[in-house]
């Protein structure tokens, strides 16, 4: 193939065209520094027209004054020595424009010989914009670094594979490890499987939808960032490339904990309101039961004495115990309604559990339920009201019995004891159907029940919850899927006091032989019971049904004690006492009151200010005898 040959004239024309079209400044000088060529780009950059620079010294035109001496010295050294470190290399120096301003340039120098002359071609590129861009980039990176370094939230960037490529120091708190350990790793490599799967799913959602996502994430076990508000957003680096994920992690743990505390406090207030309403309702019911219970308790006592030594004695004793039990329960309800703390003594919970199991023994046996009591190694002693704690255990066992009613065999209730951190723990577990998750949060609400009509009132667990709380303890339903497990936690007994023996022999009633007692009450059956009991104690008892009749009786004869109802026809107890002080001052210290109303504010205020003994219906023979005995003693 025949080669094309370019003539010298053609080559010169081509070089001249290239020189004019070059985007870089090209300046050709001779060995004396005179400018021989100055292309169009050089004119634009330096601001000198070509015809004004040809033949002039380059050092005087484009070298800044502060660098001219070094420039001349360098040229002289090169011309003398014949080599230079500048040739064939790119260097950055400062040049000067026609207006005297300095600017950075990138310089490359080559040497050639033309017709025996030594010529130097300098190619220069203006670096002003590049330097400005680099400075802007550095400033931007510094601002970003400062922003991320000091941001109070976690900030990160993940690549298309979910690996961290950038993370700020705050992210160390999210994963509990230095930030350097995050780079190049995925979240699921540093978290549990459930948490890792959650984060991966949320990242995939952002990639698939190409939309930002704001979501709360929970990482259990962390002090900070246990709850995080995560804002994710897609970042497309280049078309067709995997989508990166940018994100902000905002610690909302304190907010969530505060919300939980507020919700718990609100629930506690709501529960207390319900318990108060429950107490008032029960108190109203109890008040209506006071008179018949007072009669039942008193008459059962008299009946027991009448049939003592006969085959009916055992039956009478059972009636008496049941009546006293009812009386104690009624008083417990009244105590709750008054929001008074329970009476305290040392109670052995193992002994109480034994009594409850015996009490419910027949019902449990007929339901074919096995009860296993795993006794504690030492007595489970607590400070508490024995009757109230007895009732709580009855409620829990009855609930377990009812839960097991429809279960196939075997049916089992297991009761265990433990001590931990100064608390006595009693656990009651059954192998019944358990409590559904949607119900667990409401089981301690008053009147809430899942039982069929006629089988439950929704009172037992709420009463038990409030009672244990009033004792400084906690009743809770433990998590689990097999059956229901309730745990009572009560402070262990303090001090060295004796345990109350529920079946201990009662103190003998005082002998009131010969002492005259005036009973003032318009309830005939209640008054008859009082008269009957005092008569058995050999007292000389006189009963009247009104205040007028009482004052007539006091005029007619002397009495050693007066037992008076707070509500009399035409006169209340406060007026009766004031009248007694005015007309029979000697009897002011010998009067005691009897009432079934312990909730009314006026009643409570009067009883507190009068300082007189009070018998609250229903009362036992011992309580009646004790009050009357003290009244008689006050006059001797």
> What pLDDT is stored for residue 1 in this prediction?
46
Q: How far is CA 583 from CA 153, 394, 395, 586, 612, in A?
A: 83, 52, 52, 9, 18
175 or 459, which is more confident: 175
Q: Give the tens place of pLDDT for each residue, 438-448.
A: 777 777 776 55
pLDDT-based confidence at residue 302 (cuts at 50, 70, 90): confident
> Could you give the percent of the chain with pLDDT greater than 70?
85
Three-class SS state of 525: helix
Q: Give the CATH fold of the 8-131 domain.
A: Beta-Lactamase (3.30.450)
Three-class SS state of 483: coil
Q: Give the tens place of pLDDT for each residue, 1-20.
A: 455 677 878 877 888 888 88
Distance between CA atoms of residues 382 and 345, nearest Å: 8
> What pLDDT is stored for residue 448 in this prediction?
55
Residue entry with tokens 């109070």: 152
Mean of the pLDDT values across residues 534-552?
90
CATH architecture group of domain 341-491: 2-Layer Sandwich (3.30)
Q: Would you tell me the crossing angle of helices 349-359 and 386-404 to the nearest 10 degrees?
A: 50
Q: Supply the DSSP symbol for 514.
A: T
> What pLDDT is stored for residue 338 in this prediction?
54
Q: Which of 442, 515, 78, 18 is nearest to 270 (CA)?
A: 442
Q: How far is CA 298 from CA 5, 442, 623, in A?
A: 142, 41, 11
> What pLDDT is stored for residue 42 in this prediction?
93
Distance between CA atoms of residues 263 and 240, nearest Å: 49
Q: Give the tens place of pLDDT for each residue, 313-332.
A: 788 788 877 777 677 666 65
> What pLDDT is stored for residue 18 in this prediction?
85
Domain range summary for the chain, segments of one domain joined by +: 8-131, 151-251, 341-491, 516-634
> What pLDDT is stored for residue 51 in this prediction?
93
Q: Which of 478, 559, 479 is nearest to 518 (CA)?
A: 559
Q: For 516-634, give the CATH class.
A: alpha beta
Residue 452 CB: number of other CB atoms within 10 A? 7
pLDDT-based confidence at residue 456 (cuts at 50, 70, 90): very low
Distance between CA atoms of residues 300 and 448, nearest Å: 36
pLDDT-based confidence at residue 343 (cuts at 50, 70, 90): low
Do residues 26 and 121 make contact, with C-beta atoms less than 8 angstroms apart?
A: yes
Do residues 246 and 231 make contact, with C-beta atoms less than 8 angstroms apart?
A: no
Residue 401 CB: number of other CB atoms within 10 A? 19
Residue entry with tokens 């004793």: 317
Three-class SS state of 23: coil
> What pLDDT is stored for residue 342 in this prediction?
56
Distance between CA atoms of residues 378 and 508, nearest Å: 33
363 or 587, which is more confident: 587
Angle of CA points 351, 355, 361, to nearest 5°: 140
Lowest mean pLDDT, pick from 99-113, 462-476, 486-500: 486-500
Question: Which CATH code fits 151-251?
Answer: 3.30.450.20
Q: Model-level pTM greater than 0.75? A: no
Beta strands 244-251 and 154-158 are antiparallel
Look at residue 167 and tell me whether its pLDDT is greater than 70.
yes
Distance between CA atoms of residues 526 and 418, nearest Å: 46
pLDDT-based confidence at residue 40 (cuts at 50, 70, 90): very high
> What pLDDT is stored for residue 526 in this prediction?
87
Three-class SS state of 385: coil
Distance between CA atoms of residues 217 and 127, nearest Å: 49
Residue 599 CB: number of other CB atoms within 10 A? 16
Look at residue 85 and tell me whether its pLDDT is greater than 60.
no
Q: Give the tens place of pLDDT for each residue, 373-407.
A: 887 677 789 988 888 888 889 888 988 888 888 88
Q: Give the tens place of pLDDT for each residue, 204-259.
A: 999 999 999 999 998 887 788 889 999 999 998 878 788 999 999 999 988 888 88
Mean of the pLDDT values across residues 561-576?
89
Mean of the per-residue pLDDT values of the chain: 83
Lowest mean pLDDT, pick from 7-11, 274-278, 369-373, 424-428: 274-278
> What pLDDT is stored for residue 454 in this prediction?
41
- Residue 616, sorted as left (phi over 0), alpha (psi -120 to 50) or beta, turns out to be beta
> What pLDDT is stored for residue 157 in this prediction?
92
Do residues 364 and 317 make contact, with C-beta atoms less than 8 angstroms apart?
A: no
Q: What is the DSSP string of 465-482?
A: HHHHHHTT-EEEEPP-SS
User: Among the ranges 138-147, 196-205, 293-302, which has the highest mean pLDDT value?
Assistant: 196-205
Q: Which of 94, 102, 79, 82 is nearest to 29 (CA)?
A: 79
Mean of the pLDDT values across residues 523-548?
89
Distance between CA atoms of residues 286 and 12, nearest Å: 124
Q: Which residues contact 514 (CB under 8 A, 6 or more apart)?
A: 538, 540
> Could you give the percent of the chain with pLDDT greater than 90?
27
Look at residue 283 and tell me whether its pLDDT is greater than 70.
no
- Residue 580, sorted as left (phi over 0), alpha (psi -120 to 50) or beta, turns out to be alpha
| Peptide bond before residue 618 is cis, with ω within 30 degrees of 0 | yes
Decide if 8-131 and 151-251 have a common fold.
Answer: yes
Show the tokens assigned to 389. Answer: 């704690």
């Amino acid at each position: 193939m025949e080669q094309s040959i370019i003539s010298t004239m053609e080559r010169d024309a081509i070089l001249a065209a290239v020189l004019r079209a070059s985007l870089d400044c090209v300046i050709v000088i001779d060995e004396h520094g005179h400018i021989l060529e100055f292309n169009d780009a050089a004119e634009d950059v330096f601001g000198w027209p070509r015809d004004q620079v040809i033949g002039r010294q380059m050092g005087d035109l484009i070298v800044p004054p502060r660098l001219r001496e070094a420039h001349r010295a360098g040229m002289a050294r090169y011309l003398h020595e014949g080599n230079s470190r500048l040739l064939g290399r790119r260097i950055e120096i400062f040049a000067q424009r026609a207006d005297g301003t300095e600017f950075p340039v990138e310089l490359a120098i080559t040497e050639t010989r033309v017709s025996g002359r030594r010529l130097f071609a300098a190619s220069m590129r203006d670096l002003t914009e590049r330097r400005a861009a680099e400075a802007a980039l550095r400033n931007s990176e510094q601002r970003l670094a400062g922003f991320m370094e000091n941001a109070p939230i976690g900030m990160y960037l993940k690549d298309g594979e979910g690996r961290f490529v950038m993370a700020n120091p705050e992210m160390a708190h999210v994963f509990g490890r230095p930030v350097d350990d995050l780079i190049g790793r995925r979240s699921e490599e540093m978290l549990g499987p459930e948490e890792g799967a959650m984060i991966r799913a949320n990242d995939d959602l952002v990639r698939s939808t190409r939309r930002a996502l704001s979501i709360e994430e929970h990482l259990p076990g962390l002090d900070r960032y246990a709850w995080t508000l995560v804002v994710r957003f897609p970042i497309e680096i280049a078309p067709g490339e995997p989508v990166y994920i940018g994100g902000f992690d905002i610690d909302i743990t304190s907010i969530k904990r505060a919300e939980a505390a507020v919700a718990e406090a609100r629930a506690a207030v709501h529960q207390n309101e319900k318990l108060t309403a429950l107490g008032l309702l029960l108190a109203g019911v109890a008040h209506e039961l006071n008179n018949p219970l007072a009669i039942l308790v008193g008459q059962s006592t008299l009946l027991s004495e009448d049939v003592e030594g006969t085959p009916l004695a055992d039956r009478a004793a059972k009636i008496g115990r049941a009546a006293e039990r009812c009386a104690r329960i009624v008083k417990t309800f009244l105590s709750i309604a008054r929001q008074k703390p329970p009476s305290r003594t040392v109670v052995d919970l193992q002994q109480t559990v034994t009594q409850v199991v015996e009490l419910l023994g027949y019902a449990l046996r007929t339901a074919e339920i096995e009860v296993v009591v795993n006794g504690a190694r030492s007595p489970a002693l607590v400070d508490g009201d024995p009757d109230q704690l007895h009732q709580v255990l009855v409620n829990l066992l009855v609930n377990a019995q009812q839960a097991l009613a429809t279960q196939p065999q075997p049916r089992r209730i297991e009761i265990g004891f433990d001590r931990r951190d100064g608390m006595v723990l009693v656990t009651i577990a059954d192998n019944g159907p358990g409590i559904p998750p949607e119900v667990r949060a409401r089981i301690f609400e008053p009147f809430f029940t899942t039982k069929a009509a006629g089988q439950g009132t929704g009172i037992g667990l709420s009463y038990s919850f409030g009672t244990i709380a009033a004792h400084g303890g906690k009743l809770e339903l433990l998590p689990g899927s097999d059956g229901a497990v309730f745990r009572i936690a009560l402070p262990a007994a303090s001090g060295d006091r004796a345990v109350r023996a529920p079946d201990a022999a009662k103190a003998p009633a005082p002998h009131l032989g010969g002492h005259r007692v005036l009973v003032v009450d318009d309830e005939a059956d209640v008054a008859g019971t009082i008269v009957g009991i005092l008569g058995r104690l050999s007292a000389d008892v006189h009963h009247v049904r009104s205040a007028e009749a009482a004052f007539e009786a006091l005029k007619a004869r002397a009495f050693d004690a007066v037992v008076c109802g707070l509500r009399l026809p035409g006169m209340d107890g406060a007026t009766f006492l004031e009248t007694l002080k005015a007309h029979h001052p000697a009897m002011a210290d010998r009067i005691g009151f009897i009432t079934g109303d312990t909730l009314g504010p006026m009643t409570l205020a009067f009883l507190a200010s009068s300082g007189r003994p009070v018998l609250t219906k229903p009362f036992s023979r011992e309580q009646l005898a004790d009050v009357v005995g003290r009244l008689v003693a006050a006059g001797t």
